[in-house]
């Protein structure tokens, strides 16, 4: 064994203690860290010939890189929909690395059963029934990709083509219909050989809405004259957190032949609150469902789940048959269900957080985030320099300058907000108007944080 490695083996507990001390300082001081860090990163160093050992590497990292890491896991980072990492999930994440299980299959470990237990908890949390089976993936983009891949295989079943063998081209042109799809849907279509240009945007409901007009969707389906299609319904759009009417869309299945995929990346968490759960009524009727965990469940990157009612088709797409793995029979190992072969025990951080805080704890995060978004929304309305671009439906505040919201002036506002170090919001365009969006999804955010954000927005726009 290399002597430095041997030394680290002997000092393993001490190293973990140092890393723990470092992590504890960062975790406790997270809300003092600048929310976004500017300035140039250090230039790349050369590959070390002789390493410095783990303890010195920790010191090197702490000096050279850590100062430039953002406080995006902290309470006032409101960019994208980011979430943080609950204490229990961080502990689970550390142990994932310590045990370093390969979740491709059972492999002489109970870890696969832990993933299944966690999937069962999440299925219940999202109000899905027993007909849905799931798997962990790295993020909602991959979850959407898996859902559409199963949908593509289903199209083959309808048209009498084995897509997993014959390829996507054997299907001919595929129609994917959606109202306000996330950009990852087009990416998934590119990956799957369906093609980005096959995404057909269906008109939205009138007014300030991002939800699909179900009557327009019905017309678009009717125009296909019986040709099966894929419909992507959206449960939580990124600008205004609008929800398609999932029940009404599912009801169209009686008359039209389509695969219903629901992108519920973060909106699915509305199911946790009796006050908002009606927004995701009908989710269980979906053929495939995407839900992110590194957003509103507040587990560390990277974690998401995908669910489907057609695991048989999923195995057709993703099975990995080889002489030593065999063809899956009975309950398939996870390597037969997702793009990955070897997989990390991504379920453990989620298992820890659900075990530690339960449904009630996670419901409180969701409800507090929504209340704080409404509070910020009301505050923004009251500021002379800003106005809302849309009502605050759930956890995102979409706003712009009260006067002359040109791209240039909104960009300058975004820069001024970021430069304050107090908060971070991301630019968007809504209804043709450049604006900014502040998304609440972090378990740590308080009323006091929200007041600080409001003061920062007032200063930057005043
Ligand atoms: C974030 C998001 C995605 C993509 O998620 P990743 O985890 O970044 O891959 C897809 N759909 C919606 C609605 C999202 O909010």
From 326, 352, 378, give the residue that closes a domain.
352
**Any domain includes 40:** no
Residue 388 backbone dihedrals phi, psi, to 5 degrees: -75, 140
List of residues 6+ apart from 310 with CB closer than 8 A: 150, 153, 154, 287, 288
**Any domain includes 333:** yes
Asked if 311 and 398 sit in the same domain, the reply is: no
Asked if 435 and 341 sit in the same domain, the reply is: no
Q: Quick check: CB of 244 below 6 Å from ligand 1?
A: no
CA of 216 to the centre of ligand 1 (A): 25
**Any domain includes 233:** yes
Average model confidence (pLDDT) across the chain: 96
Instruction: Give the residue numbers spanning the domain of 413.
Output: 359-461
Gap between the Cα atoms of 76 and 450, Å rounded: 8
182: three-class secondary structure by DSSP? coil
Asked if 304 and 390 sit in the same domain, the reply is: no
Q: Quick check: CB of 238 below 6 Å from ligand 1?
A: yes
Asked if 163 and 212 sit in the same domain, the reply is: yes
Could you identify the atom of ligand 1 that is nearest to the CA of residue 266? 15
**Any domain includes 279:** yes
Q: Quick check: CB of 81 below 6 Å from ligand 1?
A: yes
Asked if 333 and 404 sit in the same domain, the reply is: no
How far is CA 114 from each of CA 120, 121, 126, 348, 351, rounded to the nearest angstrom?
10, 11, 18, 8, 8
CA 421-446-359 angle, to 5 degrees, is: 125
Could you tell which of 141, 242, 439 is best to mutate to test the pocket of ligand 1, judged by most ligand atoms within 8 Å of the CB? 141
**Any domain includes 207:** yes
Q: What is the pLDDT of residue 289?
A: 99
Gap between the Cα atoms of 128 and 126, Å rounded: 6
CA of 156 to the centre of ligand 1 (A): 27
CA of 121 to the centre of ligand 1 (A): 21
Could you tell which of 80, 138, 140 is best to mutate to test the pocket of ligand 1, judged by most ligand atoms within 8 Å of the CB? 140
Q: Which parts of the chain register pLDDT below 70? A: 323-329
**Any domain includes 14:** no
Residue 227: CATH number of its domain: 3.40.640.10
Q: Quick check: CB of 139 below 6 Å from ligand 1?
A: yes
Q: Quick check: CB of 306 below 6 Å from ligand 1?
A: no
List of residues 6+ apart from 79 with CB closer than 8 A: 36, 72, 424, 425, 426, 439
Asked if 338 and 424 sit in the same domain, the reply is: no
Q: Count up the domains in the chain and report the number.
A: 2
How far is CA 286 from each of CA 107, 226, 234, 268, 314, rounded to the nearest angstrom?
32, 20, 11, 12, 15
Asked if 331 and 446 sit in the same domain, the reply is: no
**Any domain includes 118:** yes
Q: Quick check: CB of 151 below 6 Å from ligand 1?
A: no
Residue 424: CATH number of its domain: 3.90.1150.10
Q: Quick check: CB of 304 below 6 Å from ligand 1?
A: yes
From 299, 323, 352, give the residue that closes a domain.
352
| Beta strand pairing call for 304-308 and 133-137 | antiparallel
**Any domain includes 413:** yes
Asked if 374 and 339 sit in the same domain, the reply is: no
Query: What global pTM score does this model have?
Result: 0.97
Asked if 96 and 180 sit in the same domain, the reply is: yes
Q: What is the pLDDT of residue 218?
A: 98
**Nearest protein Cα to ligand 1, atom 13:** 265
CA of 11 to the centre of ligand 1 (A): 41
**Nearest protein Cα to ligand 1, atom 12:** 265
pLDDT (tens digit per residue) in 343-360: 999 999 999 999 999 999
Asked if 105 and 238 sit in the same domain, the reply is: yes
Could you identify the atom of ligand 1 that is nearest to the CA of residue 264? 13
From 297, 326, 352, give the residue that closes a domain.
352
Q: Quick check: CB of 263 below 6 Å from ligand 1?
A: yes
CA of 317 to the centre of ligand 1 (A): 22
Q: What is the pLDDT of residue 32?
A: 87
Asked if 375 and 227 sit in the same domain, the reply is: no
Q: Quick check: CB of 293 below 6 Å from ligand 1?
A: no
Asked if 263 and 380 sit in the same domain, the reply is: no
Could you tell which of 238, 241, 297, 300 is best to mutate to test the pocket of ligand 1, judged by most ligand atoms within 8 Å of the CB? 238
pLDDT (tens digit per residue) in 181-235: 999 999 999 999 999 999 999 999 999 899 999 999 999 999 999 999 999 999 9
31: three-class secondary structure by DSSP? helix
Q: Quick check: CB of 395 below 6 Å from ligand 1?
A: no
């Amino acid at each position: 064994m290399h002597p430095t490695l041997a030394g680290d083996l002997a000092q393993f507990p001490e190293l973990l203690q140092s890393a723990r001390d470092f992590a504890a300082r960062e975790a406790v001081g997270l809300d003092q860290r600048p929310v976004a860090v500017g300035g140039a990163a250090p230039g790349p160093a050369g590959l070390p010939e002789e390493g410095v050992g783990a303890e010195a590497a920790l010191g090197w990292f702490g000096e050279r890189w850590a100062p430039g890491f953002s406080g995006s896991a902290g309470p006032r980072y409101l960019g994208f929909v980011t979430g943080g990492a609950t204490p229990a999930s961080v502990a689970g994440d550390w142990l994932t690395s310590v045990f370093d299980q390969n979740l491709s299959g059972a492999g002489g470990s109970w870890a696969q059963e832990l993933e299944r237990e966690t999937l069962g908890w999440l299925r219940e949390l999202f109000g899905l029934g027993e007909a849905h089976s799931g798997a962990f993936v790295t993020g909602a983009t991959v979850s959407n990709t898996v859902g559409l891949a199963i949908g593509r295989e289903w199209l083959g079943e309808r048209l009498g083509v084995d897509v997993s063998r014959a390829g996507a081209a054997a299907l001919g042109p595929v129609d994917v219909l959606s109202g306000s799809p996330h950009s990852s849907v087009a990416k998934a279509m590119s990956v799957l050989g369906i093609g980005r240009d096959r995404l057909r945007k269906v008109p939205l409901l009138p007014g300030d809405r991002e939800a699909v007009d179900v009557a327009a969707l019905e017309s678009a389906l009717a125009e296909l004259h019986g040709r099966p299609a894929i419909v992507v319904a959206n449960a939580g759009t990124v600008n205004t957190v609008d929800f398609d009417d999932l029940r009404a869309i599912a009801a169209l299945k009686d008359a039209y032949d389509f695969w219903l995929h629901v992108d519920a990346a973060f909106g699915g968490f509305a199911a946790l609150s009796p006050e908002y759960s009606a927004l995701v009524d009908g989710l269980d009727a979906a053929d495939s469902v995407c839900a992110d965990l590194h957003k509103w469940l507040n587990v560390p990157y990277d974690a998401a789940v995908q669910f489907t009612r057609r695991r048989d088709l999923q195995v057709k797409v993703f099975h990995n048959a080889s002489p030593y793995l065999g063809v899956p029979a009975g309950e398939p190992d996870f390597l037969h269900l997702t793009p990955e072969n070897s997989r990390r025990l991504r379920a453990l951080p989620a298992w820890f957080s659900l075990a530690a805080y339960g449904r009630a704890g996670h419901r409180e995060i969701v409800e507090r985030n929504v209340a704080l978004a409404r509070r910020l929304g009301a505050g923004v309305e009251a500021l002379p320099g800003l106005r809302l671009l849309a009502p605050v439906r759930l956890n995102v505040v979409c706003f712009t300058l009260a006067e002359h919201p040109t791209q240039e002036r909104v960009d300058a506002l975004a820069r001024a907000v970021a430069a304050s170090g107090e908060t971070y919001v991301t630019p968007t365009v809504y209804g043709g108007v450049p604006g900014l969006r502040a998304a609440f999804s972090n378990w740590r955010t308080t009323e006091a944080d929200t007041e600080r954000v409001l003061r920062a927005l007032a200063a930057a726009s005043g």
